[in-house]
Structure 1
Amino acid sequence: MTGLSYSWTEDVLSPLGETGVMIRCGDTISEAVHRRVMSVCALLEKSQPQGILEWLPSFASVTLFYDPLISPYHEICGMLLHELSKMEEATLDEPTTIIIPVCYGGELGPDLEYVATEHGLTPDEVIAIHTSGDYLVHMIGFAPGFPYLGGLSDKIATPRRSTPRLRVEAGTVGIGGKQTGVYPVTTPGGWQCIGRTPLALFRPTENPPSLLAAGDRVRFASISLQEYLEQKEGER
């Protein structure tokens, strides 16, 4: 282990509502800040501080919720600063890599042509770039099981749609700026839809219900429409 070169002072803590505390782990979205976020989560998991109910990692912070009847805010903050000041970088487990099959384009990926045109590429070139990426799950949010994936090539990074769709089907793979992600449930959304996976990312009857977790790695694999339909049937 090596010490984390980060200043854990009072200004990294801020209240969130009446029973939450946000721990700021950095000011950028990067793998270094992500590792710091996961180190804080590992610390909380190991120490199980009194009064803390749960914690959630995000791009550059960890939000925790506590029971103020057990430990009031000032005690929580004091305990956190004490623990953080002596924290070392966690030895994280080897990340799990999940291969997500995707049928690109057509009705399942109506924005593939637009993304290609925006970058002077062919749809096949966009697919090749998207499937060559090694993506990091920075956080789960927006909708149950929705992964925010870092590592998208600048060659296909595309702004969100100016007008969001009222309905984006579950399994849709999208691009939003410099990120890519997968809609785990049917919901409105504004990302550029380039394909769809037959995999269910949100599985409410399982524990955990999300196929992916912060810290996982994702790779996409292109499949045909027939393969999509067959695998979709197998998921039922």
Structure 2
Amino acid sequence: MKGIPQSLTWKIVPVADQAVLIDFGEYIDPQINKHVTDLAILINQQPLAGINKAVPTYRSLLVNYDSLRIRQQAVVVYLQELLTQPRRKSPPFRAWRIPVCYGGSYGIDLDTLAGLHQLAPQEVIERHIKSLYRVYMIGFMPGFTYLGGLDETLHTPRRESPRLKVPAGSISIGGMQTAVGSVEAPSGWHLIGKTPFRSFTPEREPAVLLQSGDAVSFYPVNSEEYQSLAAQGDYVPKWSWQDAEI
């Protein structure tokens, strides 16, 4: 992973006539991501008239606005003012506890991934559950959750041949990240487990539960426990408010 720059820099880039992008550079880093998500929360909670929504990614923020209500230059001036203000204390975030059934038919790549790192499968599980992960962004597919904070000993290049179908709820590793899948989708990530939780359910309000800036920890369950939780239908794991830095 590249180190973060000595001072945080950014540029504001127009995106057609309905949005601007605040770009913080090429770094994927928790401190930069925290700055992005904190700014998104501030804009979404107290939007300037005409601004619709701020959507965070790893290291950039897309700010959508109504060009019939506000000029782009006014949006840029507003954002520049926010960016140059002293940084506020980060708001509390949600910390989720997500159950995972590891290995076997639930995580068909666990043994192979363990072999690549000269670890026993149980060691992979133990290293995977010990971290508190940060939700960097939601994307690729509805509810697909990219998590930062994976133990460096588990960093693994993606598969050379992606699978066309990966089951909903798959817990996977790709590069220096781990992820929570929500819907069936193609993927080149390594499948190590599965959760009965679905972050995205279109009939639910809100449809997507995990959000950028949230925290996630995993705990192992066996097949019987997995099936029992899955039988609840729209199973939602426990979460709590926290204000410690992640």
TM-score by length of 2: 0.87
Give the partner amino acid of 1:78. V
Per-residue CA shift, 1:85-137, capped at 9, x if unaligned? 2x232323332111111111111111101110110011111111101111011
SS across alignment from 1:96: strand
What are the superposed Cα offsets for residues 23-66 of structure 1, whole Å, 9 maximum, x if unpaired? Answer: 12354222211221123213313441122111101111110111
Is 1:174 equivalent to 2:179 in the alignment? no
Aligned with 2:155: secondary structure?
coil
**Aligned equivalents of 1:108 and 1:233: distance in 2?**
16
Indicate if the aligned counterparts of 1:25 and 1:36 stay in contact, CA closer than 8 A.
no
- Structure 2 residue aligned with 1:28: 27
The match for 1:202 is 200
Counterpart AA for 2:113: V
- What per-residue deviation string (whole Å, max 9, x for no partner) do you get for residues 134-159 of structure 1? 10111111111111100001111111
The list of structure 1 runs, each at least 4 consecutive aligned residues, that deviate by more than 4 angstroms after superposition, is: none
**Equivalent residues in 2 for 1:154-233, closer than 5 Å:** 154-233=152-231
Aligned counterpart, 1:64? 63
Q: Give the conservation status (yes or no) of the 8 Å contact 1:135–1:217.
A: yes
Q: Secondary structure at the match of 2:153?
A: coil
Q: Which amino acid aligns with 2:146?
A: Y
> Which one-letter code corresponds to 1:151 in the other structure?
G
Show structure 2 runs of 5+ residues with no match. Answer: 1-6, 235-246
**Counterpart position of 1:93:** 91
Report how far residue 7 of structure 1 moved.
4.7
Match of 1:107 in 2: 105
**2:38 partner amino acid:** S
How many residues get paired? 228
Corresponding residue of 1:149: 147
AA in 1 matched with 2:63: L
Q: 1:46 to 1:169 in 2, by over 3 A?
A: closer
Give the aligned residue type for 2:73: H
Distance 2:136 2:196 in 1: 22
Structure 1 residue runs of 5 or longer lacking an equivalent are none
The 1-side partners of 2:82 and 2:119 are apart by 50
Query: 2:232 maps to what in 1?
Result: 234
Q: Which residue of 2 aligns with 1:14?
A: 13
